Chain A
Amino acid sequence: MGMSNTGKSKKYVTVLSSALLFAGLLAGCGGSNNNDNASPSVSASQSESASPAETESSKPQEKVTISLLVDNSQDAVSVAKALVDAFQAKNPNITVETETRPAGSEGDNFVKTRLSTGDMNDVFFYNSGSLMQALNPEQNILDVTNEPWEADVIDSFKQTVTFNGKQYGAPTNATMGGGWFYNKKIYAQLGLSVPKTWAELMENNKKIKEAGITAIIGTYKDTWTSQLIMLADYYNVQAEAPNFAADYTANKAKYATTPAALRSFQKLEETVGYMNKDYLAATLDSGIKMLAEGKGAHYPMLTFIIPTIAQNNPEAINDIGFFAQPGDDADKNGVTVWMSPAAYIYKNSQHVEEAKKFLAFIASPEGMAAVGTVSQPTGPYVVKGAAMPDNVPQVVKDMLPYFDSGKTAPALEYVSPIKGPSLEQITVEVGAGKRKAADAAAMYDKDVEKQAQQLGLAGW
Chain B
Amino acid sequence: MNKVWKRTYTYYFLLPAAIIYLVIFILPTFMSFFFSMTRWTLQDWTFTGLQNFKTFFYESSLNIGFKNTFVYAVVTCGLKVVFGLLLGVFLTSKIRTKNYLRSVVFFPTLVSTIAVGIAFSTLMHPTEGLINTTLASLGISGPDWLGDTRIALLSVAFVDVWKGVGFATVIYIAGIMSIPEDYYEALQIDGGNSWNKFWNIILPLSRSATNTVIILAFIGGLRSFDILWPMTRGGPGFATDVIASIIYKQYQAGFYGLATAGNVILFLFVSLLAFPLSLYLNRKEVDL
Say yes or no for B73: interface residue by CB 8 A criterion.
no
A124 to B274 Cα, complex, angstroms: 45
CB of A139 closer than 8 Å to a CB of B? yes
Asked if B149 is an interface residue, CB under 8 A from chain A, the answer is yes
Contact (A422, B126) CB under 8 Å given A428-B236, A446-B60: no
The verdict on B269 contacting chain A, using a C-beta distance below 8 Å, is: no
Minimum CB–CB distance from A74 to chain B (whole Å) comes to: 19
Q: Which residue of B lies closest to A279 (CB)?
A: B147
Binds B, one of A55-63, A90-98, A104-112: A104-112
Does B234 make an interface contact (CB < 8 A)? yes
Complex interface residues of chain A between 437 and 460 (CB less than 8 A to chain B)? 443, 446-447, 450-451, 453-454, 456
| Bound form: Cα–Cα A278–B146 in Å | 11
Q: Is the CB of B252 within 8 A of A421?
A: yes
B185-197 CB contact bits vs A (8 Å, 1 = yes)?
Answer: 0000000000000
Bound CA span A286–B39, Å: 40
- Given A134-B254, A139-B43, A429-B238: A280 in contact with B147 (beta carbons within 8 A): yes
Question: Nearest Cβ in chain A — how far from B54, in angstroms?
Answer: 10
Query: Contact between A112 and B237 (Cβ–Cβ < 8 Å)?
Result: no
Q: Are A105 and B252 in contact (CB under 8 A)?
A: yes
| Shortest distance between the CB of B263 and any CB in chain A (Å) | 16
| A281 touching B126 in the complex, CB below 8 Å, given contacts A429-B237, A432-B236 | yes
Question: Which A residues are CB-close (under 8 A) to B250?
Answer: 421
Chain B interface residue count, Cβ-Cβ cutoff 8 angstroms: 35
Decide: A425 and B238 in contact? CB cutoff 8 A: yes
Cβ-closest chain B residue relative to A421: B253
Asked if B144 CB lies within 8 Å of chain A CBs, one says yes
The listed residue with most B CB atoms (<10 A of its CB), out of A106, A139, A278, is A278
Assuming A280-B126, A446-B58, is B43 touching A428 (CB within 8 A)? Answer: no
Question: Looking across the interface, which residue of chain A has its beta carbon closest to that of B241?
Answer: A425
Quick check: is B42 within 8 A (CB to CB) of the other chain? Answer: yes
Give the interface centre of B234, B235, B258 by most chain A CB atoms within 10 Å: B235
Output the nearest chain B residue to A140 by Cβ-Cβ distance: B43
A432/B237 in contact, CB under 8 A:
yes
Give the contacting residue for A106; candidates B43, B128, B146, B252; CB below 8 A: B252
Please report the C-alpha to C-alpha distance between residue A379 and residue B208 in the assembled complex, in whole angstroms: 67
Say yes or no for B251: interface residue by CB 8 A criterion: yes
- In the bound complex, how far is the Cα of B127 from the Cα of A280, in angstroms? 11
A112 and B236 in contact, given A277-B127, A446-B60 (Cβ under 8 angstroms): no
A278 CB contacts on chain B under 8 angstroms: 125-128, 144, 147
Is B233 located at the chain interface by the 8 A CB criterion? Answer: yes
Known interface pairs A281-B147, A422-B60; A451-B253 also in contact (CB < 8 Å): yes
Are B254 and A112 in contact (CB-based, < 8 A)? yes
Residue in A281, A422, A434, A454 whose beta carbon sits within 8 Å of that of B254 in the complex: A454
In the complex, how many residue pairs between chain A and chain B have their CB atoms under 8 Å apart? 88
The reply to whether B144 and A108 form a contact with Cβ atoms under 8 Å apart is no
Tell me the complex Cα distance, A139–B43, Å: 9
Per the 8 Å Cβ criterion, residues 125-166 of B in contact with A are 125-129, 144, 146-147, 149
Q: A139-B43, A447-B60 are in contact. Are A426 and B237 (CB under 8 A)?
A: yes
Q: Does B41 interact with chain A (Cβ within 8 Å)?
A: yes
Task: Determine whether A350 belongs to the interface, using a CB cutoff of 8 Å to chain B.
Answer: no
Is A281 within 8 A of B144, CB to CB?
Answer: yes
A375 at the interface (CB under 8 A from B): no
Tell me which residues across on chain B come within 8 A of A422, comparing CB atoms: 60-61, 249
Contact A456 B236 (CB under 8 A): no
Interface residues of B in 163-198 (CB under 8 A from A): none
| Contact partners of B235 in chain A: CB under 8 A | 220, 223, 425, 428
Q: Choose from A109, A429, A446, A453 the contact partner of B236 (Cβ within 8 Å).
A: A429
Query: Would you call B46 an interface residue if the criterion is a C-beta within 8 Å of the partner chain's C-beta atoms?
Result: yes
- In the assembly, what is the distance between CA of A106 and CA of B39, in Å? 21
Check if A311 is an interface residue, CB within 8 A of chain B. no
A310–B283 Cα distance when bound, in Å, is 68
Q: How far is the CA of A422 from the CA of B51 in the complex (A)?
A: 19
B90 contacts chain A at the CB level, 8 A cutoff: no
Contact with B along A262-305 (1 / 0, CB 8 A): 00000000000000011011000000000000000000000000
* B83 contacts partner chain A, Cβ-Cβ < 8 Å: no
Chain A residues whose CB sits within 8 angstroms of the CB of B237 once the complex forms: 425-426, 428-429, 432, 434-435
Nearest chain A CB to B64 CB, angstrom units: 11
Chain B residue nearest to A220 (CB atoms) is: B236
Report yes or no: B55 in contact with A450, Cβ–Cβ below 8 A: yes
Contact A454 B249 (CB under 8 A): no
Determine whether the beta carbon of B60 is less than 8 Å from that of A443: yes
Query: Interface digits, A158-192 against B, CB 8 Å rule (1 contact, 0 not)?
Result: 00000000000000000000000000000000000
Which partner residue on chain A sits nearest B152 by CB separation? A280
The CA of A134 and the CA of B236, in the complex, are separated in Å by 27
How far apart sit A134 and B252, CA to CA, in the bound complex (Å)? 12
A421 lies within 8 A of B147 (CB): no
Chain B CB within 8 A of A394 CB: no
In the assembly, what is the distance between CA of A409 and CA of B58, in Å?
A: 34
- Given A428-B237, A453-B51: 18 more A-B contacts, CB < 8 Å: A105-B253, A108-B254, A112-B42, A139-B43, A278-B127, A280-B147, A281-B125, A281-B127, A422-B61, A425-B237, A425-B238, A429-B236, A434-B149, A434-B236, A446-B60, A447-B60, A450-B255, A456-B46
Interface residues of B (CB under 8 A from A): 39, 41-43, 46, 51, 55, 58-61, 125-129, 144, 146-147, 149, 233-238, 249-255, 257-258
Please name 7 pairs of A and B residues whose Cβ atoms are closer than 8 Å in the assembled complex, sorted by A. A136-B41, A278-B128, A280-B126, A421-B255, A422-B61, A435-B237, A456-B39
- 8 tightest A-B contacts by CB? A280-B147, A421-B253, A429-B237, A116-B42, A454-B255, A278-B127, A428-B237, A105-B252
